[in-house]
């Protein structure tokens, strides 16, 4: 296993992952599971991005299709229309920002890269919902977040039966990474897909054993922010899940996360700073 820090080529600039990075969630959906994250105006979006960057985010993930369990399906045209002004406005006002588009549709991804100069495609389906996605990733040269999921956002929670969950997810990643590399994709990030076709207990097993995926020698993204694995366990709500999110983010860092995808940047940045200090006193292997 390589001990060299990961580097990503993001739009022609090298991005160093020797320290964990923070990806800020920017939702331009009316039905995101966390109500306080929904943004409706250009001013709201720009304020959110500006604050996230000030608080320590180095990546901005903009999505227009809610992927919560049972989310309403929208057309590709509606998704792209929701994204059009936010992506163009964020790129105009923050020209140096690293922007990710959260979409599983190849057409939306290609448009976002070519027309809005985004650097990362964040595909919650791992290429399972659009056969053209991998070719699009390779053609555009964008970095790609490869997420494990079964089914669709509408059906994924009915597909949680595994014989050996870790082995099956590893096989999923291995086959898809091989195909991406064969096509010419170069900058791949893996996301175990917390909440995507996993039960509450499976999510915690996955978090505890996330370092298992280090054998793939690719950066790992951990996205647990305010998810049901927190509020269902604590009998609370997404709005009451900040403390639980911080606890899980720290466990993610301890188990090998290179990127934290979060709603709450300041708290995640503090967790990363504390983790860095803690790690500096750990014996070097």
**43 flagged as catalytic:** no
Number of Cβ within 10 Å of residue 154's Cβ equals 13
Select which of 105, 150, 226, 261 is catalytic. Answer: 261
**227 flagged as catalytic:** yes
Select which of 179, 209, 227, 232 is catalytic. Answer: 227
Residues forming the active site: 227, 261
């Amino acid at each position: 296993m390589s001990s060299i820090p990961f580097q990503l080529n993001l739009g022609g600039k090298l991005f160093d992952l020797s320290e964990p990075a923070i990806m800020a969630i920017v939702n331009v959906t009316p039905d995101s599971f966390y109500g306080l994250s929904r943004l409706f105006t250009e001013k709201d979006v720009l304020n959110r991005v500006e604050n996230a960057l000030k608080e320590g985010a180095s990546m901005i993930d903009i999505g227009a299709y809610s992927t919560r369990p049972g989310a309403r399906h929208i057309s590709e045209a509606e998704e792209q229309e929701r994204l059009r002004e936010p992506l163009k406005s964020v790129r105009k006002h923050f020209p140096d920002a690293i922007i990710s588009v959260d979409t599983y549709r190849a057409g939306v991804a290609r448009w976002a890269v070519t027309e809005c100069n985004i650097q990362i495609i964040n595909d919650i389906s791992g290429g399972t919902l659009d056969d053209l996605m991998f070719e699009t990733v390779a053609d555009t040269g964008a970095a790609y977040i490869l997420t494990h999921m079964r089914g669709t956002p509408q059906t994924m929670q009915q597909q949680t039966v595994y014989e050996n969950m870790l082995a099956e997810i590893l096989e999923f990643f291995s086959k898809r990474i091989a195909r991406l590399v064969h096509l010419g994709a170069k900058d791949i990030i893996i996301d175990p897909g917390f909440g995507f076709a996993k039960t509450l207990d499976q999510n915690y097993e996955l978090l505890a054993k996330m370092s298992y995926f280090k054998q793939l020698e690719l950066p790992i993204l951990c996205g647990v922010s305010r998810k049901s694995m927190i509020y269902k366990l604590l009998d609370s709500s997404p709005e009451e899940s900040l403390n639980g999110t911080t606890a899980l983010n720290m466990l993610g860092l301890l188990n090998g996360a290179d990127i934290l995808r979060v709603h709450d940047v300041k708290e995640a940045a503090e967790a990363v700073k504390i983790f860095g200090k803690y790690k500096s006193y750990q014996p070097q292997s």
